[in-house]
Structure 1
Amino acid sequence: MNIRTSISLFLLYLLTVQILPHLSAFAANTNAASFQSHVDQLRLWAGEVGIHIVSLETGHTVFELNSQATFIPASLVKLFTSYAALKSLGPESRFNTSIFALQGPVQGTVRGHLWIKGEGDIFFLLEDASKLATQLKQLGVTTVEGSIFVDNSYFEPASLRVCLDEDCSEAYNPVISGTSLGFNSLEFHVTPGIRPRTPLHVSWTPSGDYVQIRNKGNTGPRRSVPSVSIRSIGPTREGRESFILEGRLALTAQSGIDRRFTVEDPASFFCRSFRAVLRDAGIEVQGTGAGERKVPPHVTVLTSHQSLPLKDLLHGLNRHSNNFMAETLLCTMGAKVFGIPGNMQKGLEVIRQFLKELDIPDDEVQLDNGSGLSRRSRASPRAFSRILQKAYGDPLFGQPLIDSLAVNGQMGTLCRRMSDSPFVIRGKTGTLSNVLGFAGIVSMPGNAAYAVTVILNHVQHLPNAREATDAFL
């Protein structure tokens, strides 16, 4: 062995045995100190903190804190619902909404009623209803002698409102049904009158006679402070919903204000809104009936609407954390896997079986709905990291889930967060009044990617807790 070889072997020994272990220990200590510093900041604003970080390249856990303990996860639950739906229904799955009649039109007239039945479409909007009306017009329909009814038997119960803390009145409390229109919600637009002391002007979308409103609002002077309120006082005997508009809006507030409500009676809401859509398309509906009624046997399908593929619909569900879409998808999944009618229990069983396939212990996930709008649902940070880890290596079913997530500084619930970060952060956020969560994938182009889950419970100040979470990410 010559001198040069001996020196090389000695240097290699120093590097591998003496230097690298110390460097690794130094890096580990530095990372640990950095993590601990951020954890201390999170604990300033939250009574309970759970964290799990796993390398998506190696599968090794990088950092964890209470990772197997269960927390209230809020909207992070939508990750479970979405991935289970992709696996059980397929990314290309679509949902139908059909119009039935006793027979086809005769000389432009449909004799008898129209029935509309959906199969749990999570994204049937007003423009889709307009497309159905156009299709009827193209069939030559000009008159419907009967009324319009909705068949909501695809779910059981036919409609269900999801509440939080015994409060069901907020716009984020969805009313789900097998046949729905625009998330079963309507939006009021209020503008000032032509001069002070004149009534406010109010309109709503979709139009139709579902709304019965008592307008007690008035137009105030130019500098008056807006004090507009709209509240529902419940359904009427005729199947409409009564609202009261009160307060004042300045004459100069020409842009007006908007208020969104979930409706009490989704079947009547759909029927009365669709009658207005048909009218705009040049089709007269002579009957005045509206509401829920099952499609009778031996009917004819006049036309149908098919939704976008599930993989595309999930963008709205996860990026914007849409509770209606999540809860409807949960029941639709239950119907398609375990049979009609779908319900929450069937959908939750689909999720339970899916999580079992991923070796996620039952005691780390307990759910009571599909959106996370609950304080009874519990899940561990490790369970969410496991979902993300599986999705990352699953191009067929997992990639659509990842594609549906919000992106820092770009889109969804992260569009105004961490915009100056050098990392690409795709994730699902969750928020309740004292809960804050994040589960997603953090990466830098050309470098390693990590599944990161942070859940905070007993949060004392949401803005500060969110800022500390962003700093941690």
Structure 2
Amino acid sequence: MRALFICISIMVFAFTEHEKVQASVNHEVLSNQLNTFMANDPNLKGAIAGISIRSALNGREIYQHNGGIRLRPASNMKLLTAAAALDVLGENHTFFSALYSDGPLKKKTLHGNLYLKGGGDPTLLKKDFDQMAEEIHKQGIKRINGDLIGDDTHFDDVRLSLDLPWSDETTYYGAQISALTVSPTKDYDAGTVVVTVYPGKKQGDQVRYTITPKTNYVKIINHAKTAAEQEKKNLTIERVHAKNIIKLEGQLPVNAKEKKEWVAVWNPTRYALTLFKQSLAEKGIKVTGKIKTGVVPDTATVLTNHPSMPLSQVLIPFMKLSNNTHAEVLVKEMGKVVMGEGSWEKGLEVLEDTLAKQGLDTGNMVMRDGSGVSHVDLVPASQISQLLFSVQKESWFPAFLHSLPVAGIKEKMVGGSLRYRMKGLHVMAKTGSLSTVSSLSGYVKTKSGETLIFSILLNNLLDGDKGKRIEDQIVRVLASQ
């Protein structure tokens, strides 16, 4: 792992030290190669491709194909969100979570309510709740004669972005946004549980399952059966709309591999409170009252707090794994920090103002969220490549660059969504995909040693996977220069 870290550090250094390399790409040759490829690929027939290639040395656009046309960026929108968050919040910015009480402690009993206040941290885990429970246990609290109250007012109460499709509402990438939420694993898919399904011991048995973290907040209805070994896997794991009921349907053959599904919960605030109450119970702390939501009173006393990892580290799972929830949290956090309101409306206003300072023509763009899940988002490829050029001057650029997936590196938190693509090339870039949309934007080191910036937005595709092949081929042409 240390060798891998050194390798990636060298790659980041190489991309940031390009000033000493003279531009050497033959623009005419490059244009001819790309134009020929674009004209002959049958998968682009009926589709729209927006491409912008710039020199990382001077920002000059050396090739464009529909570069000024507004297109759906998919998760390439996260490049804009990450850059703005680093600029507005700073790479050392942390999110907070804290415990408060509004009553006295007498003989190991807290006579009052216990408040869990969320500050938007998307990286909270069950073990963090265990630690917080342990800390108040050490303070002598063994019983709480009051309610457990969750305060999620750091953000507004709008849970889903404006254009999120109803079909995405139960998926991990469509999880509800709350200032008080919890993740099941170190992938940090906040507001979800992981359901893992295994075949039974013999044909006809119900399938077996586990839930991570272990919780009774969701209920499993198991209609799935174990099929014969030669039969096909046909298993669905879906949550019922507006309920925390997850249905298992279909079949899993004997000896088949486990199937995992990350499922978004309904009401992540209450989910977090339920898990925290479980942590309290595991530490021997009894809560006599109910689980509620409310606001921490001004007179309450802080018992303990839990800061998150810094933003520079949050960006790793955010960008490497293309985490939609993180993107929307960052938009709301920017709104909260700059304008005092943790909402999409204020956050997107801050995002637009910040991008304009980076030289982007925000009047030529439509931004409806921070993740790119919206099919209404519209950004020209030339604006994304302009951003990737302009951010190179910022002190936080190494953190931004380090967060990008690295092509061909299988380690998940390094290669991310590019870990199985373009092996052997020096590429650091952000992927993106929606139904009919594929995108890829970032940096590539050419054969001659020059760094090129590229943005490729492919819209109206019949097959998104073929879009990835198109992107990879274009980047290979760039790398060969």
Q: TM-score, normalised by structure 2?
A: 0.85
- 1:466 aligns to what? 468
**Separation (CA, whole Å) in 2 of partners of 1:27 and 1:84:** 33
In structure 2, what residue type is equivalent to 1:81? T
- 2:138 aligns to what? 138
- Structure 2 contact 406–418 (Cα < 8 Å) conserved: yes
- 2:417 aligns to what? 413
**CA shift at 1:445, angstroms?**
8.6
- 2:263 aligns to what? 261
**Separation (CA, whole Å) in 1 of partners of 2:179 and 2:195:** 24
Q: Secondary structure at the match of 1:427?
A: strand
2:432 to 426, 430, 445: 430
CA deviations 1:184-224 (Å, max 9, x no partner) are 01111223445544443333122232112333334444545
**Separation (CA, whole Å) in 1 of partners of 2:138 and 2:101:** 16
**Separation (CA, whole Å) in 2 of partners of 1:229 and 1:463:** 22
2:246 to 243, 246, 255: 243
In structure 2, what residue type is equivalent to 1:186? V
The answer for unaligned runs of 5 or more in structure 2 is: 1-22, 184-189, 410-414, 476-481
- Structure 1 contact 159–266 (Cα < 8 Å) conserved: no
> Residue 279 and residue 219 in structure 1: after superposition, are their counterparts in 2 closer, same or farther (change >3 A)?
farther
**CA shift at 1:130, angstroms?**
2.5
**Separation (CA, whole Å) in 2 of partners of 1:234 and 1:32:** 50
Q: Secondary structure at the match of 2:58?
A: coil
- Structure 1 contact 162–173 (Cα < 8 Å) conserved: no
CA deviations 1:278-311 (Å, max 9, x no partner) are 2333333333x22422223311111111011111
Q: Secondary structure at the match of 1:247?
A: strand
> Residue 28 and residue 256 in structure 1: after superposition, are their counterparts in 2 closer, same or farther (change >3 A)?
closer
CA deviations 1:131-185 (Å, max 9, x no partner) are 2223223323333333322111111125336654442333321210111111001
> Residue 220 and residue 35 in structure 1: after superposition, are their counterparts in 2 closer, same or farther (change >3 A)?
closer
- Structure 2 contact 175–264 (Cα < 8 Å) conserved: yes
Of the structure 1 ranges 82-91 and 149-158, higher mean CA displacement relative to structure 2 is found in: 149-158
- Structure 1 contact 428–439 (Cα < 8 Å) conserved: yes
**CA shift at 1:115, angstroms?**
1.5
- Structure 1 contact 219–248 (Cα < 8 Å) conserved: yes
- 2:304 aligns to what? 303
- Structure 2 contact 164–174 (Cα < 8 Å) conserved: yes
Equivalent positions of 1:35-434 (< 5 A) are: 35-41=34-40, 44-45=43-44, 47-103=47-103, 105-157=105-157, 159-160=159-160, 164-167=164-167, 168-182=169-183, 183-235=190-242, 241-253=244-256, 255-287=257-289, 289-339=290-340, 341-394=341-394, 396-410=395-409, 411-421=415-425, 424-434=426-436
The answer for unaligned runs of 5 or more in structure 1 is: 1-23
> Residue 206 and residue 355 in structure 1: after superposition, are their counterparts in 2 closer, same or farther (change >3 A)?
same
> Residue 42 and residue 309 in structure 1: after superposition, are their counterparts in 2 closer, same or farther (change >3 A)?
farther
- 2:478 aligns to what? none
**Separation (CA, whole Å) in 2 of partners of 1:437 and 1:131:** 41
CA deviations 1:208-259 (Å, max 9, x no partner) are 32112333334444545433333323456xxxx2233333334434x53222
**Separation (CA, whole Å) in 1 of partners of 2:229 and 2:27:** 63
Q: Secondary structure at the match of 1:268?
A: helix
> Residue 299 and residue 359 in structure 1: after superposition, are their counterparts in 2 closer, same or farther (change >3 A)?
same
Q: Secondary structure at the match of 2:174?
A: coil
CA deviations 1:321-376 (Å, max 9, x no partner) are 1000001111011001100x310011111111112212322333210000000110
> Residue 104 and residue 205 in structure 1: after superposition, are their counterparts in 2 closer, same or farther (change >3 A)?
farther
**Separation (CA, whole Å) in 1 of partners of 2:369 and 2:434:** 15
**CA shift at 1:434, angstroms?**
0.7
In structure 2, what residue type is equivalent to 1:415? R
Which is greater in Rg?
A: 1
**Separation (CA, whole Å) in 1 of partners of 2:198 and 2:162:** 31
CA deviations 1:393-427 (Å, max 9, x no partner) are 22x12221111111111111111110033xx1111
- Structure 2 contact 321–416 (Cα < 8 Å) conserved: yes
Of the structure 1 ranges 304-313 and 355-364, higher mean CA displacement relative to structure 2 is found in: 355-364
**CA shift at 1:319, angstroms?**
1.1
**Separation (CA, whole Å) in 2 of partners of 1:27 and 1:95:** 47
Q: Secondary structure at the match of 1:160?
A: coil
Q: TM-score, normalised by structure 1?
A: 0.86
Q: Secondary structure at the match of 1:366?
A: coil
**Separation (CA, whole Å) in 1 of partners of 2:32 and 2:70:** 25
In structure 1, what residue type is equivalent to 2:458? L
- Structure 2 contact 163–376 (Cα < 8 Å) conserved: no
Of the structure 1 ranges 357-366 and 379-388, higher mean CA displacement relative to structure 2 is found in: 357-366
**Separation (CA, whole Å) in 1 of partners of 2:143 and 2:61:** 66
**Separation (CA, whole Å) in 2 of partners of 1:133 and 1:158:** 29
**Separation (CA, whole Å) in 1 of partners of 2:108 and 2:448:** 63
> Residue 83 and residue 274 in structure 1: after superposition, are their counterparts in 2 closer, same or farther (change >3 A)?
same
Give me the CA root mean square deviation.
2.5
> Residue 161 and residue 359 in structure 1: after superposition, are their counterparts in 2 closer, same or farther (change >3 A)?
closer
